[in-house]
């Protein structure tokens, strides 16, 4: 899952990722176990499913608002190809290959008809994430 360095012109800095810190740094949120990502400091990771994206926040205050559960932490990160995100695909639709593909082929479109949920404010979708440093809690 770890990837080589993406081209420099695609990398943007100063985004923020909320992860769960148990024995490993893992995706947090209500997502299927088979889609959870293991993160490591200073290593690029991509989503497990083709065409999918990873979720980050542009501003640290929004990320901190979603790091309220025990074990959740916020990391400053670099990302590849961030775009503002306004919805999250419903849990049942994630396991439907046709709906999953339809959603992620054009995530910037209004996909409410696919039974989506509003994404948290300040959410961005991206192709890859590299955690740089922990910023919350300190």
- Whether residue 19 contacts residue 73, with contact meaning beta carbons closer than 8 Å, is answered with yes
Model confidence at 74, pLDDT cuts 50, 70, 90, reads very high
**Backbone region of residue 81 per phi and psi (left: phi > 0; alpha: psi in -120 to 50; beta: other values):** left
User: Worst-scoring range by mean pLDDT, 4-8, 30-34, 124-128, 130-134?
Assistant: 4-8
Quote the pLDDT of residue 39.
96
Q: 28 pLDDT exceeds 80?
A: yes
Q: Which domain holds residue 38?
A: 2-84+121-136
On whether residue 67 sits in a domain, the answer given is yes
Query: For residue 125, how far is the Cα from the chain centroid?
Result: 6
On whether residue 62 sits in a domain, the answer given is yes
Domain count, the chain: 1
Q: Give Cβ neighbours of residue 24 (< 8 Å, ≥ 6 apart).
A: 38, 39
Quote the pLDDT of residue 108.
64
On whether residue 111 sits in a domain, the answer given is no
């Amino acid at each position: 899952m770890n990837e080589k360095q993406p081209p420099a012109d695609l990398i943007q800095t100063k985004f923020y990722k909320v992860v769960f810190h148990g024995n490993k740094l893992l995706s947090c949120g209500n997502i299927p176990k088979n889609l959870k990502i293991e993160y490591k400091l200073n290593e690029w990771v991509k989503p497990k499913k083709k065409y999918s994206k990873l979720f980050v926040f542009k501003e640290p205050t929004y990320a901190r608002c979603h790091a309220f559960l025990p074990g959740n932490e916020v990391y400053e990160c670099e990302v590849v190809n961030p775009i503002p995100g306004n919805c999250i695909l419903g849990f049942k639709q994630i396991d439907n290959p046709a709906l999953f593909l339809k959603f992620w082929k054009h995530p910037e479109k209004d996909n409410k008809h696919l039974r989506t949920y509003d994404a948290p404010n300040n959410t961005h979708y991206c192709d890859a994430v590299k955690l740089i440093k922990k910023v919350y809690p300190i």
